[in-house]
Amino acid sequence: MLFTSCKKDWTCTCTALGTTTPVPYTKLSKKDATTACDQANASYALLGGSCKLD
């Protein structure tokens, strides 16, 4: 049996300083999108914000 990862479009919603910003990721596996959103979360955390993968 062969397994392939499903690549699709994801949105990482980031909020900081009272502003919400959608960050689109296109044609990524969920694992890759999660990694990218986690990296964005680390940056937004410096501003007191956070990011969540939708």
State how far Cα 37 lies from the chain centre: 3
pLDDT in tens, the chain (54 residues): 555 568 999 999 999 999 999 999 999 999 999 999 999 999 999 999 999 999
Contact (CB, 8 A) for 45 and 35:
no
DSSP 8-state secondary structure symbol assigned to residue 9: E
pLDDT in the model for residue 6: 83
pTM: 0.84
Closest to 29 (Cα-Cα) out of 54, 8, 2, 12: 8
R_g (Cα) of the chain, nearest Å: 13
